[in-house]
Amino acid sequence: MSIWNYANPTLFMSLSKRILPTTTVITLVLIITGTCWGFFLTPNDYQQGSSVKIIFLHVPAALIAINSWFVMLISSLIWLIRRHHISALVAKAAAPIGLTMTLVAIITGMIWGQQMWGTYWAWDPRLTSFLILLLFYIGYQTLWRAVENPDVAADLTSILCLVGTIFAILSRYAVNFWSQGLHQGASLSLDKEEHIHDSFSNPLYICMIGFVFLFITLLLVRTRTEVLKRQIDSIERRKGYFNA
Amino acid sequence: MLLSVKNLTCSRNNRSILGNISLTLNKAQIISLYGPNGSGKTTLLKTLANILSYSEGIITKKTKEICFLGHTNCLKTNLTVKENLSFWNGIYAGDTLEKAISSLKLQDIINIPIAQLSAGQKRKVALARLVISKSEVWLLDEPYSALDKENLLLFNQAIVGHLKTNGGIIMSSHTPIEFEGAKPLNILEFKIANGLQNDPFIEGSCS
Amino acid sequence: MISILKRDILLSIRSGSGFTLSLSFFFLIIILIPLAIGPENTKLQSITPGILWISALLSCLLSLDRMFQSDFEDGTLEAFLLAPVPLEGIVFAKAIAHWLTTGLAITLVAPIIGFLYGFDQSTSLWMFLALLVGTPSLSFIGAFGASITIGLKRGSLLLPVLIMPFFIPTLIFGSQTVWQASTGLQMINSFLFTAGVSAFVISLMPFAAALAINSALK
């Protein structure tokens, strides 16, 4: 029984139904533990006060924002090569999650930036890259909604995701180049490695793993919704044939 | 043998509408595919032309070039007849431009923009593209629509000319065409009444 | 392939007023931006490279949605599938035709504008070179965007939203080239990156666009 069998929508639905409660519980446990530990039980940084604790949200969100696109990339490749409808729907389902995480990363980054530099926005390479990633997510989702035929939509969005990945990487490099050019030497990056206390690392890891499980849970829920939507569409269309 | 089809299934919207299609198109042969509206003639022709994909069956092509003429004319309305045909001549790397123009009697309208022609004249120019294409197989979807009697004769002459050069034609229409030697093929023979449903979200098939 | 090039240029002249439309748009944006931000000359000098690049970018967006639309509507695109010319070659020829009527025209005109804005000769030269190697990538990315939005309702609104993020690398490297040239810094790296991005885009986009066209026709 290879993993490809789960590309069958019915099998997928039954498997996801079985594992969803488990992942939900793990998610809740990890996130609550991680954030409470991080927010309440760690010492305040002598320089930045308690606001640095926003990294317990910022870093995991940023991690998921990028991984979500990666999941979309793999799913798009699987759709283009093996034509499993489930993978197309996984890609479609991952997009809003990634978009939200990117937004969370940007907003928490801005809040953190306000504390560190006194301004909500600065053209820091990392924040700018996330802004560009947001644009890619918006474009991808808009294309899904614009095409009527779901299979053609899956094709076009998969190609967009592939090409977009290349440009996203190019843009990251370009933005680094750009910010070095304009701010030669000034390091305005939210470089977490240098500034956090060691005691932050454990709750941070817990939060990160918790967010990964959050992503998995949300992805399963959204994919199930997409599958149900497609099933309803198919039934409606079939009813149309019988009535005609 | 130019084109051979075995056990082909054509589907539209995840529903099989034609099944068990088997046919062979030989050189200098014309097949007249007939059936009522909506019976799947265009779907079959487009599948043979490789525009639509198919899930079951084998299509064997012993020829490299196929030319498809559908309901649209593939002509740019702001350009003249000559400009349109020279364009297609360039695409197909052809050398039969003059022959196409003279055989379909297009000399009079050669410098008129397509927008100013009547529907029948536009159809004639569209047919000229077939002659220019140097393709061995012509797939024609209701080509007689919009043609008057005189142009119909010219078109039939073009068909004869094509068959003489050992080309093959599959032509669709509502009723079998009256052409000597045409092999009639009723598309309703292949029609699947309650189409085999292969929607992956209901039948649960994998890919 | 040359036939497509010739025909598309002919079509754009007959029905789309050729390169005058993109040039007019280009001029419009160049005039509007300083009007919006104030006339101090020194302020303008440092951002002029950016203004010229943005104007070039926006002007390139203009005729993109028509690139495949009319061929799709009259069945020519399906005929291309069956023709002996590869689909990638067709995309390539169309993108070049688009570049000749937008990017190239802007490339020739922009240095003159820069000159009027007070660029020295070296900066104007680099403006010309940067646009020359950068604008083709805009046309090819545009061709890809056009291939994805064939036949969509509101496709012409969706196209810029989809591909403008893809313009970012070219925009950054291209405008950096000119900015560095104007302030006397070493600009050759930016220029090489601009050229590199263009070369990469030109080789990749036709294949991606051909895939999209095949899907759109089903």
Residues of chain B in contact with residue A82, where contact means CB-CB under 8 angstroms, are 207
Using the Cβ of C13 and the Cβ atoms of chain B, whether some distance falls under 8 Å is answered with: no
Report the range of poorest mean pLDDT among A44-58, A76-90, B105-119, C176-190: A44-58
Please give the backbone phi and psi of residue B93, each rounded to the nearest 5 degrees, phi first: 50, 50
Tell me which of B15, B54, B55, B206 to substitute to probe the interface with A (most A C-beta atoms closer than 10 Å).
B206
Using CB atoms, list chains with 3+ pairs below 8 Å to chain A: B, C
Give the pLDDT confidence score for residue A191 in this predicted structure. 47
- Residue A97 pLDDT exceeds 90: yes
Kindly report the nearest CA distance between residue B89 and chain C, in angstroms.
Answer: 9
Round the average pLDDT of chain C to a whole number and report it: 86
Task: Report CA-CA distances (Å) from B43 to B53, B152, C73, C86.
Answer: 10, 25, 18, 24
Give the pLDDT confidence score for residue A50 in this predicted structure. 63
Tens of pLDDT, residue by residue over A144-167, are 999 888 889 999 999 999 999 999
Kindly report the nearest CA distance between residue B58 and chain A, in angstroms.
Answer: 20
Give the pLDDT confidence score for residue B99 in this predicted structure. 80
Q: Residues 36-75, chain C: which have Cβ within 8 Å of B? A: 70, 73-75
Partner-chain contact B207 A7, CB within 8 Å? yes
Instruction: Identify the H or E element spanning B19.
Output: strand B15-25
Instruction: Provide CB contacts within 8 A for B133, sequence distance 6+.
Output: B65, B67, B88, B92, B94, C83
Kindly report the nearest CA distance between residue B126 and chain C, in angstroms.
Answer: 11
Which range has the top average pLDDT, A40-44, C79-83, C142-146? C142-146
- Residue A45 pLDDT exceeds 70: no
Using the Cβ of B14 and the Cβ atoms of chain A, whether some distance falls under 8 Å is answered with: yes
Give the pLDDT confidence score for residue A197 in this predicted structure. 61
Residues of chain C in contact with residue B76, where contact means CB-CB under 8 angstroms, are 7, 11, 70, 74, 76
Tens of pLDDT, residue by residue over C85-123, are 889 999 999 999 999 988 898 999 888 887 777 778 888
Taking the C-alpha atoms of residue B170 and residue C130, their distance in angstroms, rounded to an integer, is 54
Answer yes or no: are the C-beta atoms of C95 and C87 closer than 8 Å: no
Round the average pLDDT of chain B to a whole number and report it: 82
Of B13, B197, B200, the CB nearest to A9: B200
Q: Is the dihedral of CA A97, A101, A102, A104 positive or negative?
A: positive
Q: Searching chain C, which residue's CA lies closest to the CA of residue A167?
A: C166
- Residue A46 pLDDT exceeds 60: no
Tens of pLDDT, residue by residue over C21-63, are 888 888 898 888 878 877 775 566 778 888 889 999 999 888 8
Using the Cβ of B193 and the Cβ atoms of chain A, whether some distance falls under 8 Å is answered with: no
